[in-house]
Structure 1
Amino acid sequence: MSVIQSYRSLSDAQKGRARGAPAYSIYVNRPLGRVLASVAHAAGLTPNQVTLVSAAFTFTGIALLVAVPPSLPLGVIVWLMLAIGYAWDSADGQVARLRGGGSLVGEWLDHIVDSAKIVSLHVAVVVGMYRYVEPLEATWLLVPLAFAVVATVTFFGMILNDLLRARLGVGQSTQTGGSSPLRAIAGLPTDYGTLCFVFVFWGWAPGFMALYTLLALAAILYLAAALAVWFRKMNALSGVQA
């Protein structure tokens, strides 16, 4: 199947939008992933191979934060590595759909890579700041550490929600509602694509820390609201009064 044929076939093989999915993920990352998936499928790559390509870009960008002193050119490179890795992350599932469906091991590998990148990106910020930013108030290191905790709990919460709902035969978020344009735009502060772009300012410490801290606060507020909603829904599904 050619690239063009693969691309056209994907129009009939797209999954639904997750409820509350943010704008970058919907309007930028998934279309980019569709192009990459078409190329990968035409080249004969498997979904797992696409996942590994995604990981190679992502963890190259993360490693640069630790290994190379900050600069504006480096920030652009890191952003591109993370953004390209994110696009390839969208492509693996689309390749799986082109091939007739994903596999258990493919889903496992995808989630393992995602969980590793979510925490390691913020750990790399801690290490990079500690190594290269002077003078640095030690309290600023608490921001990426808190961000790592919040991002990890949020990711695990979403995975656990779908796991427990599936056990009861309840549809996942992609099956139970879409995301309006207004809601998608409102979700930009919590979008991984937005976080990737902030690294453009990696060589300008005050600007980077201001934007990064705002995103950390948005992530904290989102998790606080999400936990309340998730608990209420789980309580309703279990039939147990808290």
Structure 2
Amino acid sequence: MSSVAEIYQRTKKVPDLAWNRFVCRPLAAVVVKLLEATPVTPNQVTLGAFGVACVASVVLVLWPGYWGLLAGVVIYEASYVLDCADGMLARLRGVASKQGHLLDFLMDEIKAFMILGAVGARLYLESKEPLFLLLTVAGLVVLATGIAVTTFQRRPEIAGDPPPTAVGAPPAKSLVQRVIGIPMGVAKLLVHYPSYIWLAGAVGRIDYYFYPYLVVNALYAAKSIAWLGVRFGRFRGD
């Protein structure tokens, strides 16, 4: 039987976001330790994480006030810990599969819709401002657009053969690449809402998650549509 520390070292991802590396994956390693000798499968953990996220969404919509908000985001973060644990359990057992990865991706995207919709409904119920309903619908549309185009881009018919794996250390980045990397890193953080939704809940301002998440997904949707236009909107002979 492996220790929690051994499980973490054997199953962690490199590189990884700070929230995952220092908080969620160490907690997930404890979950994996508890499940290691059980018949529970990684796919069952994935579905369990989805169920917990459903509970979080219901709490966010139906339990008003600060404590309802805090409970909702804490339950959601528990779901995210399970979401980390499923892949770690698969890697520990040596049963990681493409099907499991696709199931995990599917559940993650459905959870993103649920949490955004639940938060938008909560903001509307607390303020009675119809603007929040419009923003939520718009947010769900741009989120769906980004996911749909990303899935389309990854199709083998579109992506083509993967590039050969590079050998040796990666080339050093230029100054321009490093400068561009700063806003890209911020955007990556905002897309990964488990890293900060807990903080928005802790200070009682769930809009600190809502607005940035809408903006970054709107920008990504615009980028995705632009890619479609460039790839498929050219005249013959271009």
Name the SS for the 1:170 alignment partner.
coil
Per the alignment, residue 67 of structure 1 pairs with: 62
The structure whose RCO (Cα within 8 Å, separation 6+) is larger is 1
Q: Where do 1:158-173 residues align within 5 Å?
A: 158-164=150-156, 168-170=160-162
Per the alignment, residue 78 of structure 1 pairs with: 72
Instruction: Tell me if structure 1 keeps the 8 A contact 2:27–2:81.
Output: yes
Q: How many pairs align?
A: 220
Name the SS for the 1:133 alignment partner.
helix
| Structural RMSD (CA) | 3.7
Structure 1 range deviating more: 25-34 or 98-107: 25-34
Q: Where do 1:1-242 residues align within 5 Å?
A: 1-4=1-4, 7-17=5-15, 23-68=18-63, 70-130=64-124, 132-134=125-127, 136-164=128-156, 168-170=160-162, 184=185, 187-194=188-195, 196-197=197-198, 200=201, 207-209=205-207, 211-225=209-223, 228=226
Runs of 5+ consecutive residues of structure 1 not aligned to the other structure: none
Name the SS for the 1:101 alignment partner.
coil
Deviation at 1:226, TM superposition (A): 5.8
Percent identical? 24
Against the structure 1 CA distance between its residues 30 and 67, is the aligned structure 2 distance closer, same or farther, given a 3 Å change threshold?
A: same
1:122-159 deviations in Å (ceiling 9; x for gaps): 222343344x324x221222222222222233333444
TM-score (ref. length: structure 1)? 0.70
1:159-200 deviations in Å (ceiling 9; x for gaps): 44334389733169xxxx8xx996645632222214532551
Structure 2 CA distance for aligned equivalents of residues 122 and 34 of structure 1: 28
Runs of 5+ consecutive residues of structure 2 not aligned to the other structure: 165-169, 171-177
Highest CA radius of gyration, 1 or 2?
Answer: 2
